[in-house]
Amino acid sequence: MASTDWLPTTREAVLQMAMKWNNQLAMKGTAWSVPEPKVTELNTLTLSAQAAYNEANTKDRTKVLTAKMNAAFKALTDAMRDIKKRYFYIPYYCIRYENNKGDKGPWGPMVNAVIP
């Protein structure tokens, strides 16, 4: 069965995605209503994960470095999931009316559920 997770499966791909997010949020974060502290946090976590990844992928790799890298990537992916859930997931709904006899009417217009 194929995975339905939107995050990439490799560390390199997660870092690449986080860097793209950082670039886009630096340019459009305000327009997309993402608070500046969230953008800064994502940038800090990306740099931290990159440093931990580089440090762990040496010939002197130890369990401590691996644990440090795992913790850095967990923090990064948690932040990415939070940003996506809070600022990019916009639920939509469409109303369909029904009378008291059970007859269904036409579908209403599709609108988003975000209340500004």
pLDDT digits (tens, 9 = 90+) for 19-65: 999 999 999 888 888 899 999 999 999 999 999 999 999 888 899 99
Identify the band that residue 113 occupies on the pLDDT scale cut at 50, 70 and 90: low
pLDDT of residue 115: 52
Structural domain contains residue 64:
yes
Range of the domain at 73: 11-90
What global pTM score does this model have?
0.74
Lowest mean pLDDT among 69-73, 82-86, 93-97, 100-104: 93-97
Residue 72 within a domain: yes
In a domain, 110, yes or no: no
Position 63 in a domain = yes
CA angle 50, 4, 91 (to 5 degrees): 95
4 is a domain residue: no
Domain assignment present for 116: no
